[in-house]
Every structure is written in structure tokens, then in C-alpha cells.
A and B are shown apart, each in its own frame.
Chain A
Amino acid sequence: MNIGKAKLQRNLFIAAFIIPTFLFFCVFTIYPLIQALYNSFFDWSGMSQHKDYVGLQNFKDIFDDPIMLTAIGNDYFLVIGKIIGIMAIATFFAVALTRLRLKGTAFFRSIFFIPNVLSAVVVGILWNFIYNPQIGFLNGFLSLFTSSKVEINWLGFESHTIWMLLPPAVWAGIGFYMILLIAAITSIPASLYEAADIEGAGQWHQFRHITLPLIWEQMKISVINIMMTTLNGSFVIVTIMTAGGPDNSTQVMGSYLYQQAFKQAHFGYGAAIGTVILITSLITTLLLQWLLRKEQVEVS
């Protein structure tokens, strides 16, 4: 009898602590995600009476839509550019701030993280000012070397404007990944480096054969994280800096979803774009995991 009562008490406690959170999470996170997948099979302008089942038509339209193909291309351009840029610079700084016995490392570490606490909106506006054709830093700086005032419209090229969004994205991402890599490096046993020192291995050799293999797991996590946050979140920097323009050439999937759904009331099509973001994100995760696993075998 007593055991039964104790068990009941335990179960009541678990229920009281688990169920409110889970119900809340179901309503505001899980339900929207599932509903989005469902909506992507409908032609839907936002009114419930005009919601027609169209099967896979939205997805067929996506692959016939030149803007969507540009958007996917831009997304992957940013993914690859950010992975290369952020990982190279963040690893460089992480090693410099841990292994090289430099002074002022704590100071640099705290400074470098600052862009990560800024809103992407703030980052976008700051870089808009750098690129501003009339009063921006970049043209002002270039004008120092020319006789006439430089007035390049950095965010208005007919093509390749997406390149201009890479520096802000990399700049804003370095600090976080540097911190992760620093944590990984400092957890490597010092004895490994001491042994390497005794054998006369130089800094580069130590990096290549001790640091890199032992932080590889963390680098893999970082690469996948960069990919996911880029596919999910480039929307903000694009919206703030170019609004997808000029002529939809800098559209990414997220910003195009926003435009289709909330500006043009193509909610079914927008939902299908969301589904494509999910699918590309999952496929790329698997792909990266496979690619980076192979690499790891070669390193060690």
C-alpha cells in the first residue's frame, strides 16, 4: 500500500514537471513544424476556404522557378564561403590564443566575441554603412587614392552581389566558433605537447599532428552548425542589406519564403520552400558528416 502511494507520488511529480513544458512545446514548436510540412501540399492564399490540395505541384514549381534556383545557389554559396572563412580564421585565432604563449590572450578572446552578441540586424546596418555608395567607408577609403570620388554601388551589382554579404556573415561568426575551438584545444592533455617538444617537433608539426586530429570532432560540429544556421538564418542579413535585390539576385531560401508567403500571400508555396530548407539541411548534414568522417581517418 505504502509502495503504491510512493509510486503514485513519484509519477505525479514527473507528470507535473514534464507535461506543462511538453504541451507548451507541442503548441508553439512541434505543431507549426508539422503543419508546415502539411501545408506544402496545398495551394493556399491564407484563407482557409481557398486551400486546395495540389499534391507535389508546389515542389515541381520550385524546381521550375529560376528565383528559387538562384536562392538555393546563394544559400550554398554562403554555406561554403562561411565554412571556409569562419573555420580558417577561427582556427587560426584559437591556436594563436592558446598554443603560442602570446600576451593579452584573454583580452583578444573577449573582444573577438563581441560581434556574436550583436543582433544580425545591427550587423547588417553597420555593413550597409560600410558599403553605402555616397557616404560609406569603402568608397571613402578608395577615394583617397583616386582623383575623383568613388561611387560604387556595392550592393547593386547585376550579379555576384551575394559576395558582398559574405564578409559581414564571416565577421559576425568568428567569435563563437573560436571560443568552441579554444575550449577543445585547452582540453587536450598538456603531456602530448610536452612529449612533442622533447622530440623537437615545431609548432606547425604540433598543430598538424596533435591539435588538428584532437579538435577534429569539434570542427565537425562547428562546420555542421555553420551550415544549419546559414540555411536557417541568412534571411536576416539578406533582408536588411539587399532585401533580396537587385532583381532577386541575392535572394536566399529564407528570404524568398518570407516574400512569397507574407508579401504575396502564396502560403502553400512558401511552406514548400520551408520544406525544401528542411530537406536540404538534413541532406547536407549527412553529407558533411560523411565527408568529414573520411577526412578524419586520413588525419589520424
Chain B
Amino acid sequence: MLQRTVHPVFKSIFYAFLVLWGISVIYPLFWTFTDSLKNNQQFYFNMPWSLPKFPLLWSNFEYVWTNYNFGKYFINSIAVTAGATVLGLVLAAMTAYTLARYKFFGSKVLYTVYISSMMVPFALALIPLFFLVNDLGLANNRFGLILVYASNTLAFGIFVLIGFFRTLPKELEEAGAIDGAGYFGTFFRIMLPLSRSGIISVGIINVLEIWNEYIVGTILVIDPTKYTLPIGLAAMQVEMQYKTEWGPLFAGLLFTIVPVLVVYIMAQRHIVSGLVAGAVK
């Protein structure tokens, strides 16, 4: 049928836009890499798009890792991301399962509280959070960040996981009851493994969110040895007003970007399905 095909001219126009946008996404990553191998002179006397001169300054990576504490930031980021993701997932999964499967006094209200909290701009909470965390003695503390980040992931996690638990057939629990698994056994040995894909989706999306988070971190952490990568990067950029070290800055960017890119490439399907499930309210 003729109508089915798109005119070749239109097709090439569409392709042109797609390729252009694709370049606008890929090229910044490419230049981040090439420019991380330059010294200051090359930034000031060559074009930003020119390739780095030999010898390539691989030492920029080492320099930013030790002199700018990115080694510490990296470890802090990993600790905070892992801790908050696991804590947030466990708490969210328990509530999501219960809300998906049981009706009890106040269950509707509880669901509404979690879901509507997603509508409230979190900027509002920053000031009391700062004082709360200080009062708890958890300022400048990775554990403090873990608690706050875990709490921030709950509403989204509960919302998406309720959807996943509801798709599991009810007969599974009945079978579990017959086998004498009990409530806890049914949850941990039957329901949790079966909702694996939903839990992985939520977990990975939380990992990305927490790894990239800046606002809360910059308010709760003042001690540079406790910075996570985004806070460290922002601080380094401010320092650049006094001493310019573009090569190391790009090396620092790569330390922040590469882990999320690896996670994205490995888990793309999970991320997309989780986000789609979370956005269809």
C-alpha cells in the first residue's frame, strides 16, 4: 500500500534530526574524555574540540583522585548509594506488599499519604531536614545521608512495587498457606523472589537518583571528606575561579559519569520499564 510508506525526502529529514540529536548526546561524552587528557595550555591555545596532544595526560585522573579527594568522594558515593538503596527497597517492598494484598484500618489513607507526598516539592523540606539531621547528630555523616535518601525513595518505590505485587496471582499465597509457610515465609520465600524484576527496576532507578543527588547532600554535608561525587564536582568547579584545572575537572566528571553509564548500559530495560510504571499515575 502506498500510504503506508513515508516519502523518502521526509524520511531523510527525520533521520537528519535523529542523527543531530544523537550527536548532541554522544559528543559531550566524547569531549569529556578527550579533554580530560589535556593540560591547561591546550585549553587556552587550541580549540575546545581539538584532540589532546601527545603525551596524553593520564595523570589527570590520578591527580584528581588524590589531590581533589575524588577517591574519597567515590567511596562515599558508593557507600551512600548502596546503603540508601537497600534500606529504601526493603522498607518500600514490605509496605507495598502489605498495601497490595491486605485491606486494614487506614490502608487507603496510608496509600494516599505516600502517593500524595510525591506531589509535594521537596525543596520545602530542606530547612527542617537540616536541623533534624543536626539534632540527631548525623550532620556530616554518611549514615545521615543514607537515612534521608532512603526515605526520599519510599513513595516512588511503594507506588511501583504495589503495581508489581498486584500482578502476582493470589493462588500463590494460598499455596504458601497450605504449605504452612506463614505470612513472613510467604513474603520472603514466594512473593519477594517472584517480584524480582520490579524490585530490580526500582533499585536501579534509586541507584541513579541517589548517585546523582546534589541538593540534599550539599545541605547536610559540609565536611569535604564526606562529600559524594556531585557535591565534590560542584565544589571543584567553584574552586576553578581561583585556579584553573580543566583537564582534572573533566577527569572528575568521568569518575561521576562512567559508573552510571555502565549501570545504564547493563540495565536499560529495567530502568525504562520502572520509569514507565512509575509515571503512569
Contacts and interface: CB of A to CB of B under 8 A. Distances in A.
A134 B44 CA distance: 7
A111 B66 CA distance: 32
Contacts of A179: 272, 275-276
Given A125-B233, A129-B48, A140-B49, A114 B97 contact: no
Given A25-B151, A115-B25, A33 B257 contact: no
Nearest to B233: A121
Interface string A267-281: 100110011011001
A10 B183 contact: yes
Contacts of A30: 113, 117
A235 B123 contact: yes
28 contacts: A10-B183, A18-B98, A18-B110, A24-B151, A28-B152, A32-B125, A32-B126, A32-B129, A33-B124, A93-B21, A96-B14, A96-B17, A101-B4, A114-B25, A114-B29, A118-B212, A119-B214, A119-B233, A120-B214, A122-B212, A122-B233, A135-B48, A180-B279, A203-B6, A221-B280, A231-B121, A257-B127, A261-B127
B127 A100 contact: no
Contacts of A250: none
A274 B124 CA distance: 4
B202 interface: no
A57 interface: no
Interface stretch (A59-67, A78-86, A156-164, A194-202): A194-202
Contacts of B97: 17
B3 interface: yes
Given A25-B117, A100-B11, A119-B256, 18 more contacts: A14-B98, A24-B154, A29-B155, A32-B132, A33-B125, A112-B21, A114-B26, A118-B212, A119-B230, A120-B212, A122-B230, A174-B21, A197-B3, A222-B279, A240-B234, A254-B215, A278-B121, A278-B124
B151 A136 contact: no
Contacts of A20: 91, 94
Interface in B1-48: 1, 3-6, 10-11, 14-15, 17-18, 21-22, 24-26, 28-29, 32, 35, 43-44, 47-48
Tell me the dominant secondary structure on chain B's binding face. helix
Contacts, number: 254
B206 to A, nearest CB: 13
4 closest Cβ pairs, A-B complex? A119-B212, A28-B151, A32-B125, A35-B128
Nearest to A253: B123
Contacts of B57: none
Nearest to B147: A28
> Is chain A's binding surface mostly helix, strand, loop or mixed?
helix
A191 B61 CA distance: 55
Interface string B43-73: 1100111000000000000000000000000
A110 B127 contact: no
Given A96-B18, A111-B22, A274 B32 contact: no
Interface string B257-270: 10011011000100
**Count class of interface residues, chain B:** 35 or more
B190 to A, nearest CB: 14
A281 to B, nearest CB: 5
B31 to A, nearest CB: 8
Contact of B91 (A21, A262, A275, A282): A21
A253 to B, nearest CB: 7
B74 interface: no
Interface string B146-174: 01101110110000000000000000000
A57 B108 CA distance: 38
A282 to B, nearest CB: 8
A92 interface: yes
A13 B21 contact: no
A173 to B, nearest CB: 12
B86 interface: no
B102 interface: yes
Contacts of B253: 122, 125-126
Contacts of A285: 119
